[in-house]
Amino acid sequence: MALNCGIVGLPNVGKSTIFSALTSAPAEAANYPFCTIDPNVGIVQVPDSRLDRIAAIIPPEKVMPAAVEFVDIAGLVAGASSGEGLGNRFLAHIRETGIIAHVVRCFADDDIVHVAGSVDPARDIETIHVELALADLETVDKRLARLEKEKRANDRELAKKATAQDAVLRSLRAKLEEGVGARNAGLTEEQQAVIADLHLITAKPQLYVCNVDENDLGGENAFVAQVREIAAAEGADAVVLCGRLESEIAALETVGEREEFLREAGLEESGLNRLIRTAYGQLGLRTYFTAGPKEVRAWTFHQGSTAPQAAGVIHSDFERGFIRAEVYGCDDLFEHGSEAALRGAGKLRSEGREYVVRDGDVMHFRFNV
């Protein structure tokens, strides 16, 4: 899976505004469709209060947070799968992302044109779903045509594999024709593995971003309720934020100013922080830390990684020459207040090659190359 999140939705739902706030690097934004044609890419720091708490106990020269990539993809419209509104280019950009953050307009504003003339989250979501399903339907049809030849091949192994994939794709094709994506088609893990090489858009994990008016941040409006109902039916997450407000927060120069702004707005944290953490988690990413006088740093690893694999995130030599890892949990550090106290409490462990790294581990690797 690609380690990035594509921001998609209809034109004028607030995608570029949210992306600009995420990255604090303005993306082109305007009150008309197709303003953004080439995807903007931004590297975004993952908010993690544990990093600062570790640095307070083990003061370093610098602190380095984890990061995740966001891609702002231009607005899709009905007919995108057949090229409407530069749709083919936009769909190609979506295929290259790991997960999809689907921004849905959940506010009414006569000054901001809606491409369909009115605000209706359920209709807007359906429009995007249908276009993505149609794009995948084209991909499936092309593969089915190729499989007809492979099923008759003299190579028995190739013919057997083609027959198995053909059966899965024909079942999936019926779902796609109904506008149901691969993610919600009821495929088993084995069936998903059979068609993994197609990189279907509708097979990607998805989360919804409800872009609301700042007056609705304190409660749920009817538009958000629609999105939450759809998300719940799909087993997806929904994050509520106000793109306009997030843009104002991002424009402030210091952390202190941003925290004061949030307090005055009655918010514990920004909606973007929740969005970043949700996207990071859905990508299957977790965080371990290294800590010392030079640097306290958050490192990103895939959930389920072993200690050598996690070490390889720092450098391939660490993985190749891995001997062992000295490990403790950051929560134990917070409880005991120092590494010396951790040792005294027997909380510092020595782990070998089979150890599966946990989110929040603080690690020191021993290696030899």
226 and 140 belong to one structural domain: yes
Give 249: exposed, middle or buried? Use CB within 10 Å, 0-12, 13-18, 19+.
Answer: buried
298 located within any domain: no
Give 302: exposed, middle or buried? Use CB within 10 Å, 0-12, 13-18, 19+.
Answer: middle
- The residues that bridge with 232 in the sheet, in sequence order, are none
Which CATH number characterizes residue 234's domain?
3.40.50.300
Cα 328-334-337 angle, rounded to 5 deg: 95
358 and 262 belong to one structural domain: no
One-letter amino acid for residue 331 of the chain: D
Which DSSP symbol is given to 296? E
Say what the pLDDT of residue 27 is: 47
158 and 275 belong to one structural domain: yes
- Domains identified in the chain, total number: 2
Q: How far apart are CA 319 and CA 110, in angstroms?
A: 57
**Which domain does 62 fall in, by range?**
4-281
292 located within any domain: no
Say what the pLDDT of residue 311 is: 97
Say what the pLDDT of residue 131 is: 83
132 located within any domain: yes
Domain edge (last residue) among 244, 266, 281: 281
Which CATH number characterizes residue 348's domain?
3.10.20.30
Domain edge (last residue) among 281, 313, 344: 281
Backbone angles phi, psi at 109, to 5 degrees: -155, 110
- Which of the residues in the chain have pLDDT under 70? 1-2, 25-39, 74-90, 113, 115-116
Say what the pLDDT of residue 19 is: 87
Tokens 């858009």 belong to: 201
62 and 200 belong to one structural domain: yes
Say what the pLDDT of residue 153 is: 86
Domain edge (last residue) among 266, 281, 296: 281
272 and 327 belong to one structural domain: no
198 and 319 belong to one structural domain: no
220 and 354 belong to one structural domain: no
Contacts 24+ apart (CB under 8 A), 274-278: 274/239, 274/241, 275/18, 275/22, 275/101, 275/207, 275/209, 275/239, 275/241, 276/22, 276/44, 276/45, 276/46, 276/47, 276/68, 277/46, 277/47, 278/207, 278/237, 278/239
Is there a contact between 246 and 44 (Cβ–Cβ < 8 Å)?
A: no
pTM over 0.85: no
162 and 267 belong to one structural domain: yes
363 located within any domain: yes
295 located within any domain: no
Is there a contact between 136 and 121 (Cβ–Cβ < 8 Å)?
A: no
